[in-house]
Amino acid sequence: MARILWADDEIDLLKPHVMFLEKKGHEVTTVQSGNEAIDLVKEDDFEIIFLDENMPGLTGLETLDFIKAEKPSVPIIMITKSEEESIMDSAIGGRINDYLIKPVNPNQILLSIKKNLEGKRLVNEKTTSNYQQKFREISMDLQDRLDFDGWVDIYKRLVYWEVQFDKSDQSMMEVLQMQKNEANQLFSKYVANNYTDWFKNEGPLMSHELLKEKVFPNIKNDKTFLIVIDNLRYDQWQVIRPILMERFTAKEESLYYSILPTATQYARNALFAGMMPSEIQKHFPSKWKNEDDEGSKNKFEADFLNANLSNNGINCKTSYNKITNLEAGKKLVNNFSNLLNNDFNVIVYNFVDMLSHARTDMEVIRELADDESAYRSLTLSWFEHSALNDIFKLIAENNCDVIITTDHGTIKVDDPSKVVGDRNTNSNLRYKQGKNLNYNEKDVLAIRNPEDAYLPRMNVSSTYLFAKESKFFVYPNNYNYYVNYFKNTFQHGGISMEEMIIPYVHLKSK
């Protein structure tokens, strides 16, 4: 039970309340002035403090300042005779945890104690109980013959619970991760069985269709920003969402499918070109870069975008900016007024992708983002203080629409799979392209006819391999070293809900 300090110059009139709390098992210490309260706080530890606002001598708010300087984390409940604006301002500002209006009754006091001292435990218990009920529902739904929309629904529900457990006790996170692993196993089978059929029959909305179907219709109506945050997963969108919703309202929030490979060279080029990779290679032979070609493989996104606009009969003033470092972000913020002269502004922001790669290469980032929850937290911390957040603020202030999306997501890999290829086989850990590849059939989706998936054929015997679930490819040479180095890192290019099912959001300024 709680150790309570209660400061009120009329404390004798509150004896019934004190006795009520003591019967509930709480230990209550009473004083009649702010000075006495401050002296006790310096000498002793209390779990919660009640302060009368209108005491003679030091007022409640003056006493509050001294106590917060001495014990900043202790919850303080202010008791006042009227709903004074200054008290409410302090509550909103977070300096006090709650306030009660006199005359108070015992149940009000007890509720305030529970809310401030037991709130986290009660939230944890409720969250755990609710997930246990939904666990059975999700498990049953996983046994159904889900289509691509059904898998979107499953993924949204799993991410919802991931984010909920971030805010509360994570004791159930292991159970949730097991269910998510099962879902990814079944999802990988579903994609392996259906992916190439999506191009022959009606499939989900995919990378090469997104601009035509979702983005371009909005350009004709409003001044629009398209912000492509490279490698942004749906769960990462969910944690930055509350910040943006302070300034925007959601016109649409949905999910679409990245093409395979879920890698920038393929998915983002397809996004901007409005074509699948083999079609880009055919129509832009000098601008498509194959796996073994030298140079940047995403150098011509602006050209692909302009051709896509032209192919869809859209003639508007457009800008394209790619942000790969802090200075470039700050420069774009400083020159933001120039963007307002355009009808359509595209910004590619590369930080999240760089974060995932830095976590592989830098031990300090691995420690900061040790697990999925920490990875989300690091994404949120970056976004709050980023130039990208400043850009969103300026978009809102200028009453523009903004569309947020990404090219693919990423998955934390933990299950090595041996693969053997010749020296020209690419180095990506989640997909391989080459000839005479040797691999474990059950670990991969193997596409031996690249044309079936609209992928470029490098040679007569080209094969594409896509790792399923949380597997990652490792060569037999130095096997243990590379397994240990890459295990529990975030990678992309293969088949998982995290990589393939990605956010599309259309926001309007408030």
Q: What is the pLDDT of residues 215-233, one digit of tens each?
A: 999 887 678 999 999 999 9
pLDDT tens string 425-466: 888 999 999 888 999 999 999 999 999 999 998 877 789 999
The domain containing residue 356 runs over which residues? 205-246+258-405
Sign of the alpha-carbon dihedral angle for 360, 405, 306, 347: negative
pLDDT at 379 over 70: yes
pLDDT score for 82: 65
Query: Do 360 and 386 fall within a single domain?
Result: yes
Smallest CA-to-CA distance from 225 within 319, 313, 311 is with 319
pLDDT score for 89: 66
H or E element: which one contains 45?
none
Q: Which residue has the tokens 């850990």?
A: 429
More confident residue, 477 or 190: 190
What would the mean pLDDT of 130-142 be, rounded to a whole number?
90
Query: Do 294 and 236 fall within a single domain?
Result: yes
In-domain check, residue 400: yes
pLDDT score for 498: 98
Alpha-carbon distance of 109 to 115, in angstroms, equals 10
Question: Is-contact 303 310, C-beta < 8 A?
Answer: no
H or E element: which one contains 369?
none
Query: Do 267 and 386 fall within a single domain?
Result: yes
In-domain check, residue 387: yes
Structure tokens at 78: 């202010």
Alpha-carbon distance of 508 to 399, in angstroms, equals 8
In-domain check, residue 503: no
pLDDT tens string 283-337: 999 998 877 777 777 899 999 999 999 999 999 999 999 998 889 999 999 999 9
Query: Do 222 and 367 fall within a single domain?
Result: yes
Q: Please identify, among 382, 405, 428, the residue that sits at the C-terminal boundary of a domain.
A: 405
Percent of the chain with pLDDT over 70: 93
Percent of the chain with pLDDT over 90: 63
In-domain check, residue 506: no
Query: Do 139 and 27 fall within a single domain?
Result: no
Alpha-carbon distance of 444 to 441, in angstroms, equals 6
Q: What is the mean pLDDT of the chain?
A: 90
Query: Do 171 and 222 fall within a single domain?
Result: no
pLDDT score for 255: 98
What would the mean pLDDT of 341-345 be, rounded to a whole number?
95
Alpha-carbon distance of 413 to 300, in angstroms, equals 30
Question: Is-contact 255 501, C-beta < 8 A?
Answer: yes
Structure tokens at 280: 């880009």
Smallest CA-to-CA distance from 307 within 342, 278, 280 is with 280
154-163, 166-175, 394-403, range with the lowest pLDDT: 166-175
pLDDT score for 174: 85
What's the CA angle centered on 375, arms 498 and 410, to 5 degrees?
A: 25
pLDDT at 88 over 70: no
pLDDT tens string 24-73: 899 999 999 999 999 999 989 999 999 998 889 988 888 988 898 888 88
> pTM for the whole thing?
0.82
pLDDT score for 304: 97
How far is CA 60 from each of CA 80, 191, 373, rounded to the nearest angstrom? 9, 63, 39
pLDDT score for 424: 81
Query: Do 351 and 418 fall within a single domain?
Result: no
Query: Do 493 and 372 fall within a single domain?
Result: no
Side chain identity at residue 293, one-letter code: D
H or E element: which one contains 2?
none
Query: Do 421 and 386 fall within a single domain?
Result: no
pLDDT at 78 over 90: no
How far is CA 209 from each of CA 35, 96, 216, 271, 501, rounded to the nearest angstrom? 69, 51, 11, 7, 14
Query: Do 316 and 229 fall within a single domain?
Result: yes
Query: Do 35 and 94 fall within a single domain?
Result: yes
In-domain check, residue 109: no
Give the CATH number, domain containing residue 21.
Answer: 3.40.50.2300
What would the mean pLDDT of 100-121 be, rounded to a whole number?
84
Query: Do 175 and 225 fall within a single domain?
Result: no
Work out whether strand 224-229 and strand 401-405 pair parallel, antiparallel, or are unpaired: parallel
pLDDT score for 450: 94
Q: Look up residue 478 and give its DSSP letter.
A: T
In-domain check, residue 445: yes
Total count of domains within the chain: 4
Phi, psi of 51 (to 5 degrees): -125, 125
How far is CA 83 from each of CA 10, 86, 99, 224, rounded to the nearest angstrom? 19, 9, 9, 44
Alpha-carbon distance of 264 to 462, in angstroms, equals 20
In-domain check, residue 119: no
Q: Please identify, among 74, 104, 134, the residue that sits at the C-terminal boundary of a domain.
A: 104
In-domain check, residue 365: yes
pLDDT score for 262: 97
H or E element: which one contains 420?
strand 415-420
Alpha-carbon distance of 447 to 197, in angstroms, equals 12
425 CB neighbour count, 10 Å cutoff:
21
Peptide bond into 72 cis (omega under 30): no
Alpha-carbon distance of 429 to 201, in angstroms, equals 30
Q: Look up residue 259 and give its DSSP letter.
A: P
pLDDT score for 339: 96
Beta strands in 8-114 (DSSP E): 27-31, 48-52, 76-80, 98-101
In what side-by-side order are the strands of the sheet with 444-447?
Answer: 431-434, 463-467, 444-447
